[in-house]
Structure 1
Amino acid sequence: MQLATYIQDLLYRYECVIIPGFGAFLTQYESARIDSDSNTLYPPGKSISFNRQLQTNDGLLANYIASVDGSSYETALDKLRTFTRNLSVELSEGKTVSVEKIGVFKINEAQAVQFIPSEKGNFNTASFGLVPFVGTSIQREVYKEEVAALEAETPLLFTPERREKYPYLKYAAVALIAVSISGLVGFNIYKNNVAEYNFAEKQKADALLDKQIQEATFVIENPLPPLKVTVPKQTGTYHIVAGAFRIEANAYKKIALLSEKGFTPRYIGKNKYGLHEVVYQSYEDRVEALQSLRNIKNTENKDAWLLVKKLD
């Protein structure tokens, strides 16, 4: 299935990839986890789900196919229609259709399309090259029980005869305890004296500093004139879309990233699919917008596209 490669490429970069007339793949970040049954550590990834309700073409997949194949947009749409038609026919015949590294489709008992995601693919770019790691379990409790059993079998016995054999050890222990107590008391007295001295010196320093601040005079002979910054408000009905995000926080991260690159991006709200859209810039003139779009596609983002919409 050739189109599976295109869908895989887009799932690395986008959270929603729509197959027109069939449905949409949705991805969501998944943190690292441990399977205690198999002692397997799985790296962070993206969980994939499928939404049959999102079928309206948003242009993302078709534009990407056209740019990779070097074909027209209409030719890319024809490929998508053929792909969708063949997929629907195979499912209606009761077959299980596999999409490489993404998952499989089949018709369940309720005669609805069921998607089962693949466990092999990981579309989180931050985890590229990481694979599940199988470790060995640490038998702490078992070792603890073995030590307890050994202690029960070989107890340490101290008889009165052995204690009386070395009577001077008893007096040495008493002397050591006395020396320790006296040293501890002396250390506490020394520590209290140091703390009182430091507190008194701090009060003197604070009082001297307050006096110097009260007597100081600050004079600025040539104050700078106030700086006025005028930020032009973006208007227009032609918008170059940088991306659409299911999570709003990701949209603002994209805005910050584009601002660092010198663009003037902004958030234009949710589209009809509930995705948060971010644009590079808005234009009043269509020709100017198309020229800017061509430049962005060549230098920045091949998947950028032009949205014609009048914003409030």
Structure 2
Amino acid sequence: MDIANYLSELLGRHGKVGVPGLGFFTQERVNGYYNSAEGKLYPPGYQVQFSSEPFDDDTLVEHIAQKKNISLASSKYFTEKYITGLKQDVVFKEVPFANLGWFYMNNGEIAFKSAENHNEGPEFYGLAPIAIKKFNQETGNPEVGTSESQVSAPVPFTVAPQPITPTTPPAPTADQPEVYEEEETEERTRSANPWIIALIILVVIGVAAFALYKYNPALFNFTKQQAKPGAEQAQTQPAAKTDSVDNDSNKTAPPLLDTASKAISKPDTALKKTVAAADTTAKPEFVIFAGSFKTQTKSDLAVKIYKSVGVDARAWHGPGSGKYIKIIIGSFATSAEAEAERLKLIKEKKISKLSYSQEINEKK
């Protein structure tokens, strides 16, 4: 296993990578320089430096385990085996280390000589060395007697270590706007989806409520009857016209004077004859139902409004009334009398058309 290639990959990302049992490598930036002997201008790049000091780092071992799809223990084993073989070979010869450089022995210690600087990074744009001559340099043929020893040595250069900054991806070019527009459109579509779903749910609920109302309008009667008595409190004219069913349902009819007159016009002897029978046998009693409320306060307010327009109304809560307090009008012996009085009060617009007459079980 040649770990040099894996190390070369990691240096481009991290800048400093440790090798267990050997030391650590760093990648340092080298400024551009001119080699007068070669007549070339070398661009800036990176150069690998090695130190034999121990450095606790498992980045290389983990990277090899991931690349080779092996366990971390196996990766450490193969790495140690490779380093042991490298130390044995470097005693007799120089050992190349991929394209990064090579190892050699220097005074009994392992040393590393870096290869030429690398400029594969995107910040160097893949520049290559440029052959260029100085202005004062002669362009003619060299003299015949000139030997190779007279060639000036290359100008030494110093390595200026600089901190390695993580590379960032290049900025988007002008021919890439459509990609970002599509991503923004997709984000707007995702953010609009919940609102569209909520709107669809509201429309479905509205359609269901409308269909239920068309199917059985009586389900909404109690709500209408409860909402209007407070609004009718300010009305003082008994003959006020209105087309609303809710306003008619909250008006109460005047007391039935006809029934009382009939009872008074009867002879005293007839009244005396019925006293004993009334005590033993309950006679049927018919009344007009003008409305119903959940609370006593609203019921009392409705009775007050009906009485203000001349209708003798009263609150009643008995068998069959359920949870609501009924507003009833009058007391009649027969259903026909109660119905006739109800139609009369409707014609006078004192009670609602939704009112009805019915028998109640209540002793006088």
Question: TM-score scaled to structure 1, two decimals?
Answer: 0.42
* Rg larger in structure: 2
